[in-house]
Chain A
Amino acid sequence: MIALDHVTYAYPDAAVTVLTDLSLHVPRGTLCGVVGASGAGKSTLAKVLSGFVPHAEGGELAGSVQVGGIDVPQTPLAEAIEKVGLVTQNPFNQISGAKFTVREEIAFGLENLGIERAEMIMRIEEVGELLRISHLMDRSPYALSGGQMQLVAIASMLVMRPAVLVMDEPTSQLDPGGTRMVFDVVSELTRDGTTVVLLEHKLEQLRDHADQVVVLAGGRVALQGEPREVLSDERLTQWGTGSTRYTQAARAARDRGLDVPGPTPVSFDDALRTFGRGA
């Protein structure tokens, strides 16, 4: 569903490339988590997948970007947007500024797609229930807390039902309950066939939900594979993505000479198995 091959990109007037020879394949209906330090190229990757690079940003893009059956750099942005939904990092910037209520804000994209009214109403109600924001529909988008605004930004994308969803730290403003809910919703979408790329610092959530995890470092794919293996890799520290406290605890215990058998834990459930054994 997503096939990036040998993608290299530099922003206009930039001396160095942000992405270098990057290849990434994500099958339909799967969730690909992307981790990396700030400046590793995550947000640029999100823009490449959704067409904002190069269409809106300019610059030099080499390599092939095939998403949802379209050649993104060769497709006008307005068309690409129908296939690929991008939830940006800062929900405050994603709000259109043109609408008075949350309901109208969520309807904005649908209006542009020319969806008929009855269908629109149905879809908005559905997404409102899914993300538990039905009670906010009549509020001004600007009278929301950061977390609520983030859910509205996600809803505005989900309601368009894109085949591919690219989410740049979609839960950064959310409390743990909200974070869990968004990850559950995303998992359900992938089961229904949506392909999702999620750029995220919350490693434990990726361990539990992603089908594959990619580590970006310096604009290149540094490591790629099964979530637990990738997320417990010792080199993650050197790549600046950190590790969960469970991983750190297992490593520190081994360093102290304590016997910590089995693979290094990443999530709570992993850690229970690791430390529960006769500990």
Chain B
Amino acid sequence: MDVYFEDVHHTYPSGVHAVRGVTLHVPAGQRLAIVGQNGAGKTTLVRHLNGIFRPSRGTVRVGDWTTSDKDIADLAARVGYVFQNPDEQLFARKVIDDVTFGPRNLGFDAERSAQAVREALSATGLTEHAQDHPYHLALSERKRVALASVLAMQTQVVVLDEPTTGQDERGVQMIARIVGDLAAQGRTVVAITHDMDFCAENFDRVVVMADGQVRADDVPERAFRQAEALADAQVEPPQLLRLADELGWDSSPLTVPAFVDGLAARRAVR
């Protein structure tokens, strides 16, 4: 399902003008990462997708729906939103109840719901924790419970706010796999992240935000080359791209194999 932001502005009641004219079209199946400094307006922007916020000016559309015409409950059928802080999202006494709430609420029958919950728990590595109390789990696990509850709703659009925070290597790999699977199923993924390596390795497109505006919007290879935008947003390129730049390479390796290919090619010439 396509997502559209058309000249979106958002001003908080306090007067803070957090989003200042953002226009983006995110086609179905795309994996879009939004990066930028704390306070750049990233979370404010994506909170328009599930109707928590309405634009002060401009339009946000999810498929053929204009979000300001819909309430949060309607939008939940199309947009799954994983909060940065899982404790804003979890409420049940058992992991499985938290994860089952969404699909049941969307009207899935018992069988479809049970299937969706099983898949979501397995994808997030929580099958063994299904009967546990979420508050007895580590923060990194609670974050995956929050992710599982959204996956189980099988929405066409999935929004992830800082999904890799506090995850160890295995957790990050699990989330990377989920992002890839969602896109392969034609679902749209919009993620906010400070982890540029995760971003470079797993996303098709990078939007760099600063001061409520889009400063760069491109495939990772090119977005991470826009020095001025990155400086404004205080974003550093991914580790290997930064290294290749400093070494004077003209290629843009985003992954370990790409870097090693580059190294091998340079050695061969020499």
Q: Which residues of A contact B (CB under 8 A)?
A: 36-39, 43, 89-90, 92-93, 143, 145-148, 169, 172-178, 201, 204, 237, 240-242, 244-246, 248-249, 252-253, 256, 258, 268, 271-272, 275-276, 278-279
Contacts and interface: CB of A to CB of B under 8 A. Distances in A.
Interface centre among A174, A241, A252 (most CB of B within 10 A): A252
A59 B262 CA distance: 54
B240 interface: yes
Contacts of A279: 247, 263, 266-267
B194 interface: yes
Interface string B142-172: 0000000000000000000010011111111
Q: Is the interface of B mostly helix, strand, loop or mixed?
A: helix
Interface string B12-52: 00100000000000000000000011110001000000000
Interface string B164-189: 01111111100000000000000000
A90 B84 CA distance: 11
Contacts of A39: 138
B138 A268 contact: no
A90 B85 contact: yes
Contacts of A241: 168-169
B158 to A, nearest CB: 19
Nearest to B35: A175
Nearest to A202: B195
28 contacts: A38-B170, A93-B87, A146-B84, A146-B85, A147-B39, A169-B166, A173-B38, A173-B162, A175-B38, A175-B234, A176-B196, A176-B235, A177-B37, A177-B234, A178-B37, A201-B166, A201-B168, A242-B169, A242-B172, A249-B263, A252-B257, A253-B260, A256-B260, A258-B260, A271-B239, A272-B243, A276-B247, A279-B266
B38 A178 contact: yes
B250 interface: no
A272 B246 contact: yes
A175 B235 contact: yes
B242 interface: yes
Interface residues of B, number: 45
A245 B257 contact: no
B66 interface: no
Contacts of A275: 243, 247, 263
Contacts of A278: 270
A146 B247 contact: no
Interface in B230-269: 234-236, 238-240, 242-243, 246-247, 256-257, 259-260, 263-264, 266-267
Nearest to A245: B239
Contacts of A256: 260, 264
Nearest to A14: B136
B59 interface: no
Contacts of A143: 14
B192 to A, nearest CB: 10
Contacts of A253: 260, 263-264
A146 B266 CA distance: 43
A278 B171 CA distance: 37
Contact of A38 (B138, B197, B266): B138
A5 to B, nearest CB: 26
Of residues B140, B167, B170, which shows the largest number of chain A Cβ atoms within 10 Å of its Cβ?
Answer: B140
Contacts of A271: 239, 243
A240 B240 contact: no
A268 B239 CA distance: 7
Contact of B165 (A43, A173, A276): A173
B39 A240 contact: no
Contact of A175 (B37, B166, B197): B37
B139 interface: yes
